[in-house]
Amino acid sequence: MNQLLRQGLVAAQGPLAGGGIKDVSCVAGGCIHQAWQLQLDDGRSLFAKTGGLDVLAMLSVEAEGLRALKAWADPEFLEVPEPLAVEQVCGESILLLPWLELRGGKEDGLGRGLALLHQASAAAHPGRFGWQTDGFIGAGAQPGGWREGWGDCFVSLRLIPQLKQAKHWGLDLEDWKPILSRLISWLDRHQPIPSMVHGDLWSGNASVLRDGRGVLLDPAIWWADREVDLAMTRLFGGFSKDFYAAYNEVWPLPVDSIERIEIYNLYHLLNHANLFGGSYKKQSEASLRRLTSLIG
């Protein structure tokens, strides 16, 4: 973190005005932002994400998502960090969060906490699927909007935008429209209740605190079938048996939920193919072919 930004944080108009920064340490970050631990003079530790001015919208959406998840989380089992500031400082964008001591390990608190979050939000759902504003899924765009039916929402707001982008590397939306039309009615027969979902729940966006409670980070929230979160936990390393057992103790998944895992994860494979290319292209194509076989 450069000296100008450090000074701007504690300046009269800065988010840490009146305080002081004792030390700054670089910590592992993603491919979009830099990440830091700030040690303040008053003994507090903060986590900071920084980037250029162009990432302020992304950091603002992240802060909105964290606040929305925190509103439904049971703090006995699940911690969601409360955004302290998200703004531009000295020509850079910054998001400040409390520093959390993560230890990993047994994930039963995480599984129970996620189930309770899904359950609590479903009990007060808005009666439709989607989200009011455009957001991000990683560095990719996640369109906002609302749909009354779950099938229409998932296909029109998630799969179709990704398939349109995929044209530049060889997929043609027109080739897949017949199966997408059938997928809408196939998903509608499932009739899920809208739940607030994390939306990007791979193992890098969740952890466990020293006291055993789960932690959710870097969300891509929307009102959706809760199974989209559980499906994504199967990608990119997966979660432990403790996690799934604890989740199902609170709110068991339907027996046929396994049939929808690949459909829901197709969204993330397409997003990765559009962002990174490589083997994600072949994985997306293979998933589409299997979808054709499943739906007919």
- Which residue numbers are catalytic? 200
Nearest to 117 by CA among 7, 242, 213, 36: 213
Q: Would you give the DSSP letter of residue 200?
A: -
Nearest to 27 by CA among 138, 102, 105, 136: 102
Calculate ∠ Cα 122-216-90, nearest 5°.
120
Whole-number Å distance between alpha carbons of 186 and 182:
6
Angle at which helices 279-295 and 261-276 pack, to 10 degrees? 150
Number of H helices, E strands in the chain: 10, 14
- How far CA 218 is from CA of 60, 109, 283, in Å, comes to 11, 19, 24
Q: Residues 6 or more apart from 226 whose CB is under 8 A from it?
A: 118, 122, 192, 193, 195, 197, 251
With residue 164 as reference, give the H or E element that holds it. Answer: helix 160-165
Whole-number Å distance between alpha carbons of 206 and 218:
8
